[in-house]
């Protein structure tokens, strides 16, 4: 063999993960329920919570600063993960157990929410089914779904049991590529955590004198009528929630440690996401999403921006970050690429493979969209949103008002530029309305006895 060819071969052999990139990857997807962008140390060094396992995962892979859920609530986002499409295309626009209608007591709201699908059809070609057809063994643990292409389905309430079920699957699946989706119930309500961890954070709170001087809550805009003024938590100071976050992090670490112990680190792609923002405006308001505005159930950044981490040895550079705006619909085509399976463009219509981005490149995509025609249980208003570059337009379905924010300079969405930039507003609104038509967005008419709402 000539010397230059020998050197080239040796160079490839000595690059960590390079040979692994030549074959299909194992894929582990970790989905956390209601975990906020600011709940994780890798995103918020000042967080009250302790997330060493997740932080280590981010340090060993790529952290997306602008990772988004396809919806501000759970079910539509999970639908987007499994299908690679905007959930609006299927009428999946609210939680499958969503309860908010057009009235609250004797007070009439100004908009009648759209009818929403309350299940995923079993004939849907999920990413699990696609990977099955590519020769993968598939596994699901946690809440939702049931029979959607997973060879093994394990449901459990306890976070550690879910982790152990996943570990068991990984141990028995080393002879062929596998796809494991670990869908945690935490950190969703009800708030329950190991007593010893709760006591740990109660002591931490008691010892932090600076926290004692700060308010836990501040007023939030009043959208859904309630007897009490709505409040938003602005301080991470809930001991039980903190304990839930750490318990979830311990379970994540348990699975990652087992992958390393089995010698699967270099052949396993790991993705970590949440299904919406943290719960900050209702149901106990256990966390704060600052510096993001709002939270779960809201179209502000606090409701849709989420932790989004990927580690693929040989592809992602350890400790790297990307400001490319990515969406949960992107996971489907990315997983197909990692499996060396053919793309399914008619299925994952709204997802883009992130492989080039994971290697440090860019993504050619003009806009991201959201459609939430409901009053959320957390107080959010019915509306839509579009992000193009650094600008984000919000549109309220109650009356047609719009808000424009420059996310690069105003991450908290406090400075509305709609009046000062009417041309940009018109362009983004036109783009958003064209998208409504493309995906068949559903809207409903006025509420009987109430004012006629605006409709696009």
In order along its 456 residues, the chain shows pLDDT tens digits of 343 333 333 333 333 333 334 578 999 999 999 999 999 999 999 999 999 999 999 999 999 999 999 999 999 999 999 999 999 999 999 987 655 554 333 334 567 777 777 778 888 899 999 999 999 999 999 977 667 899 999 876 677 799 999 999 999 998 899 999 999 989 999 999 999 999 999 999 998 877 767 788 888 765 544 555 678 898 999 999 999 999 999 999 999 999 999 999 999 999 999 999 999 999 889 999 999 999 999 999 999 999 999 999 999 999 999 999 999 999 999 999 999 999 999 999 999 999 999 999 999 999 999 999 998 989 898 999 999 999 999 999 888 899 999 999 999 999 999 999 999 999 999 999 999 999 999 887 544 444 445 566
Cα angle 19-21-24, degrees, rounded to a multiple of 5: 115
DSSP 305: B
* Pairing verdict, β 326-327 and 67-68: parallel
Coil, strand or helix at 369: strand
Residue 330, pLDDT score? 98
β-partners of residue 182 are 30, 141
Nearest-angstrom CA–CA distance, 203 and 225? 37
β-partners of residue 372 are 383
Residue 67, pLDDT score? 98
Residue 218, pLDDT score? 80
CA dihedral 429, 435, 436, 437 (to 10 degrees): 120
Q: Looking up tokens 């643990």, which residue turns up?
A: 141
Q: And the tokens for 88? A: 């609006």
Residue 22, pLDDT score? 57
* Pairing verdict, β 26-32 and 268-274: parallel
Q: And the tokens for 77? A: 């986002």
DSSP, residue by residue, 382-449: SEEEEEETTEEEEEETTT--EEEEETTT-TT--S--TTT-HHHHHHHHHHHHHHHHHHT-----PPTT
Q: And the tokens for 419? A: 């009046």
Nearest-angstrom CA–CA distance, 76 and 96? 8
DSSP, residue by residue, 11-65: HHHHSTTTTGGGSPPEEEEEEESS--GGGSTTT-TT-SS--HHHHHHHHTSEEET
Query: In terms of Cα–Cα distance, which of 64, 34, 36 is closest to 309?
Result: 64
- Cβ distance 292 to 66 under 8 Å? no
Cα angle 445-449-450, degrees, rounded to a multiple of 5: 60
pTM of the model: 0.90
Nearest-angstrom CA–CA distance, 250 and 119? 32
């Amino acid at each position: 063999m000539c010397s230059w060819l020998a050197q080239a071969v040796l160079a490839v052999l000595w690059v960590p993960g390079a040979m692994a990139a030549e074959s299909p990857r194992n894929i582990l997807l970790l989905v956390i329920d209601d975990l906020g962008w600011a709940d994780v140390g890798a995103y918020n060094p000042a967080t009250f919570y302790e997330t060493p396992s997740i932080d280590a995962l981010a340090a060993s892979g790529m952290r997306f600063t602008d990772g988004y859920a396809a919806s501000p609530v759970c079910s539509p986002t999970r639908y987007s993960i499994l299908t690679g499409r905007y959930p609006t295309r299927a009428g999946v626009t609210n939680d499958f157990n969503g309860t908010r209608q057009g009235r609250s007591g004797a007070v009439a709201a100004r908009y009648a929410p759209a009818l929403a699908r309350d299940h995923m059809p079993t004939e849907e070609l999920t990413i699990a089914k696609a990977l099955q057809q590519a020769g993968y063994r598939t596994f699901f643990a946690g809440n939702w779904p049931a029979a959607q292409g997973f060879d093994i389905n394990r449901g459990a309430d306890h976070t550690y049991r879910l982790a152990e079920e996943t570990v068991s699957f990984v141990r028995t699946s080393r002879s062929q590529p596998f796809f494991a989706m670990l869908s945690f119930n935490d950190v969703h309500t009800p708030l329950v955590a190991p007593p010893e961890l709760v006591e740990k954070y109660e002591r931490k709170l008691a010892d932090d004198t600076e926290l004692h001087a700060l308010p836990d809550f501040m007023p939030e805009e009043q959208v859904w009528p309630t007897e009490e003024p709505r409040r938003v938590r602005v301080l991470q100071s809930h001991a039980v929630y903190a304990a839930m976050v750490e318990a979830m992090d311990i379970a994540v670490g348990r699975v990652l440690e087992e992958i390393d112990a089995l010698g699967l680190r270099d052949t396993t792609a790991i993705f970590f996401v949440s299904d919406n923002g943290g719960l900050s405006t209702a149901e106990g308001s256990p966390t704060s999403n600052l510096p993001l505005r709002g939270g779960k159930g809201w179209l502000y950044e606090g409701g849709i921006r989420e932790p989004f981490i990927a580690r693929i040895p040989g592809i992602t550079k350890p400790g790297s970050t990307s400001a490319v705006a990515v969406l949960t619909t992107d996971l489907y085509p990315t997983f197909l690429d990692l499996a060396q399976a053919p793309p399914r463009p008619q299925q994952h219509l709204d997802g883009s493979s992130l492989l080039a981005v994971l290697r440090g490149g860019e993504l050619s995509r003009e806009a991201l969209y959201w459609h939430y025609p409901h009053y959320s249980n957390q107080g959010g208003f019915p509306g839509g949103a579009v992000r193009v570059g650094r600008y984000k337009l919000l549109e309220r379905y109650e009356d047609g008002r719009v808000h424009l924010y420059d996310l690069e300079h105003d991450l908290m969405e406090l400075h509305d530029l709609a009046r000062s930039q009417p041309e940009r507003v018109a362009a983004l609104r036109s783009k958003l309305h064209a998208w409504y038509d493309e995906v068949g967005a559903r809207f409903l008419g006025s509420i009987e006895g109430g004012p006629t709402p605006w409709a696009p």
